[in-house]
């Protein structure tokens, strides 16, 4: 990430993907953006907040493209700095040339994520939003993109704020009941407290579940097709993908290298991996394929096993993550989910079964949010029902602190104002 000494630099980068394309975007951001761009265009720069068509020149004055130029004056830009965007022609040459001229005129090549880093530093977006933008760009399915958009719209933050609100309400109630005599408390006070505590825990668990789903939507899931040679793994891969991805042949031992492709199941990105058929073999090449197949099945989230478990050995056939499939069910039927890559029978059930396994996947989530929620759930499980109200109040205060940190609130003043406004303590 950008070092502090480099933050005043004017940076440039191609913001669109490389390759043959009608258009590409080259961005400039930083105090010298206008000065750099002025040296590159034929005619005047557009006024801030507007755009104009201009010819782009290299340092020798030669015209290298005809581009649309968008000008943004600080703080009204993505980064909060002066910025210029060139919408130039795409392809392998023009964007690189435009970028080269930016650099030749005094800009520096941007680091990874540096535009967004600057947007965060300028307070244009917060860290949650920056994370969500990254998730949106990386989204492999529509569902994953929708999830990221909701994060950008502050969905995740709103949820954290709501939980924080619940925590300090609870905390305030407990502190209050510690401050007054028990007979001053309204009837049913403790039942009400228990009810609110339960609501809070339920909400925390729901938030944790959403974090887990988001994580899986971001990362995707690996599904390995495993089984003896000729059991129809490669055929099943092709049938699930709806395209001829892997080589299929009646010869046993066709697949050696693992073949993978992305597939969408219930909106989740699934990396489907076809592997070599498991068997003892004298061929060193095939043996290496078998070794890789086993290790992939081991590290997979879900294994689709096309052979009876007993035939596989090494535990590859068993376990909660395994879906047992009886392939080629157009020829004969058997144990497990009956599937035929020829007739298509059972394919939908297999997708449903994969989706069901995804719903149960344990996926350690290292996000700040998931960490805080999981910790809070554990705290409540330990002390939430403690008969000593002081201990419960303490626990709630610590949870409130942790959630405050998550939402960036200042706990003490927030806590106090809530407490006072709610109870009109004023005595
Ligand atoms: N009738 C029928 N034949 C199938 C089906 N699936 C695969 N086959 C045939 O079974 C043979 C082996 O299929 P593959 O998909 O190559 O099997 P594999 O498990 O990938 O085999 P290896 O790569 O050698 O481990 C081919 O001749 C396929 O046409 C099916 O559902 N029904
Ligand atoms: Mg194969």
87: its two tokens: 């919408």
- State residue 119's pLDDT score: 87
Query: Which residue has better confidence, 315 or 58?
Result: 58
Q: What is the dihedral of CA 159, 161, 167, 172, to 10 degrees?
A: -150
Q: Does ligand 1 come within 6 angstroms of the Cβ of 338?
A: no
CA–CA separation, 21 and 13 (whole Å): 17
Q: Say yes or no: 339 and 238 in one domain.
A: yes
pTM: 0.74
Atom of ligand 1 nearest to the CA of 339: 31
Question: H helices within 153-261, ranges in order?
Answer: 155-179, 189-219, 233-241
- State residue 137's pLDDT score: 84
Domain presence at residue 285: yes
pLDDT digits (tens, 9 = 90+) for 219-228: 899 999 999 9
pLDDT digits (tens, 9 = 90+) for 118-128: 888 888 887 77
Question: H helices within 242-346, ranges in order?
Answer: 284-299, 309-312
In the structure, what pLDDT confidence band is assigned to residue 363 with cuts at 50, 70 and 90? Answer: confident
- State residue 319's pLDDT score: 65
Alpha carbon 170 to chain centroid, angstroms: 32
Domain presence at residue 415: yes
Q: What is the dihedral of CA 19, 23, 24, 30, to 10 degrees?
A: 170
Here the CATH number for the domain that contains residue 283 is 3.40.50.300
Q: Say yes or no: 182 and 205 in one domain.
A: yes
Q: Say yes or no: 109 and 187 in one domain.
A: no
Ligand 1, atom 12: closest residue by C-alpha: 230
Domain presence at residue 155: no
In the structure, what pLDDT confidence band is assigned to residue 308 with cuts at 50, 70 and 90? Answer: low
Q: Does ligand 1 come within 6 angstroms of the Cβ of 198?
A: no
Here the CATH number for the domain that contains residue 205 is 1.20.120.430
Q: Say yes or no: 183 and 228 in one domain.
A: no
- State residue 134's pLDDT score: 81
- State residue 36's pLDDT score: 97
**Closest of 214, 242, 153, 249 to residue 365, by C-alpha:** 214
Residue 215, SS3? helix
Radius of gyration of the chain (CA): 29
Q: Say yes or no: 35 and 70 in one domain.
A: yes
How many A from CA of 285 to the centre of ligand 2?
A: 14
- State residue 347's pLDDT score: 97
Q: Say yes or no: 342 and 356 in one domain.
A: yes
The domain boundary, picked from 122, 141, 174, lies at 122
Q: Say yes or no: 86 and 190 in one domain.
A: no
CA–CA separation, 352 and 356 (whole Å): 6
The residue range of the domain holding 32 is 4-122
**Closest of 380, 387, 413, 404 to residue 161, by C-alpha:** 404
Atom of ligand 1 nearest to the CA of 276: 25
In the structure, what pLDDT confidence band is assigned to residue 30 with cuts at 50, 70 and 90? Answer: very high
Atom of ligand 1 nearest to the CA of 225: 19
User: What is the average pLDDT across 17-46?
Assistant: 94
Per-state percent for the chain, helix, strand, coil, to nearest 5? 45, 15, 35
Q: Does ligand 1 come within 6 angstroms of the Cβ of 346?
A: no
Query: Which residue has better confidence, 386 or 326?
Result: 326
- State residue 313's pLDDT score: 46
Q: What is the dihedral of CA 298, 300, 304, 309, to 10 degrees?
A: 20
Domain presence at residue 141: no
Q: Say yes or no: 64 and 46 in one domain.
A: yes
Q: Say yes or no: 67 and 172 in one domain.
A: no
- Mean pLDDT score of the chain, rounded to an integer? 88
Looking at the structure of the chain, the number of domains it has is 3
Q: Say yes or no: 230 and 342 in one domain.
A: yes
- State residue 18's pLDDT score: 84
pLDDT digits (tens, 9 = 90+) for 311-346: 444 444 456 799 999 999 999 999 899 999 999 999
Domain presence at residue 138: no
pLDDT digits (tens, 9 = 90+) for 183-222: 888 888 888 988 999 999 999 999 999 999 988 998 899 9
Here the CATH number for the domain that contains residue 116 is 3.30.1360.120
- State residue 117's pLDDT score: 83
């Amino acid at each position: 990430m950008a070092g502090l000494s480099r933050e005043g630099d004017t940076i440039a980068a191609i913001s669109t993907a490389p390759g043959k394309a009608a258009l590409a975007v080259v961005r400039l951001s930083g105090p010298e953006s206008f000065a750099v761009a002025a040296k590159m265009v034929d005619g005047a720069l557009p006024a801030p907040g507007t755009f104009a068509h201009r010819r782009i020149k290299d340092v020798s004055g030669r015209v290298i493209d005809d581009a649309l130029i968008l000008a943004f004056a600080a703080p009204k830009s993505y980064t909060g700095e002066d910025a210029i965007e060139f919408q130039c022609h795409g392809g392998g040459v023009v964007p690189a040339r435009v970028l080269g001229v930016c650099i030749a005129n005094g800009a520096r090549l941007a680091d990874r994520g540096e535009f967004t880093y600057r947007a965060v530093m300028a307070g244009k977006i917060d860290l949650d939003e920056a994370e969500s933008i990254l998730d949106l760009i990386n989204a492999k399915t529509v569902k994953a993109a929708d999830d990221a958009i909701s994060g950008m719209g502050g969905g995740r933050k709103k949820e954290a704020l709501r939980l924080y609100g619940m925590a300090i309400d609870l905390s305030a109630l407990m502190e209050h009941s510690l401050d007054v005599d028990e007979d001053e408390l309204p009837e049913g006070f403790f039942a009400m407290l228990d009810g609110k505590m339960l609501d809070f825990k339920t909400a925390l668990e729901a938030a944790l579940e959403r974090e887990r789903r988001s994580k899986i939507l971001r990362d995707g899931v690996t599904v390995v097709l495993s089984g003896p040679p000729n059991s129809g793994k490669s055929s099943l891969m092709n049938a699930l993908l709806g395209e001829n991805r892997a080589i299929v042949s009646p010869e046993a031992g066709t697949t050696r290298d693992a073949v993978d492709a992305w597939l969408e199941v219930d909106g989740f990105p699934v990396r489907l991996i076809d592997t070599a058929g498991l068997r003892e073999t004298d061929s060193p090449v095939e043996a290496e394929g078998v070794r890789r197949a086993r290790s992939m099945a081991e590290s997979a989230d879900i294994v689709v096993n096309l052979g009876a478990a007993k035939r596989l050995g090494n535990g590859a056939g068993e376990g909660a993550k395994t879906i047992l499939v009886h392939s080629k069910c157009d020829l004969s039927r058997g144990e497990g989910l009956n599937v035929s890559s020829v007739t298509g029978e059972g394919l939908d059930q297999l997708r449903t079964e994969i989706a069901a396994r995804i719903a149960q996947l344990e996926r350690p989530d290292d996000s700040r949010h998931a960490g805080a929620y999981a910790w809070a759930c554990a705290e409540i499980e330990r002390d939430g029902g403690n008969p000593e109200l002081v201990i419960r109040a303490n626990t709630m205060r610590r949870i409130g602190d942790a959630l405050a940190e998550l939402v960036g609130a200042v706990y003490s003043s927030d806590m106090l104002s809530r407490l006072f406004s709610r109870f009109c303590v004023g005595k």
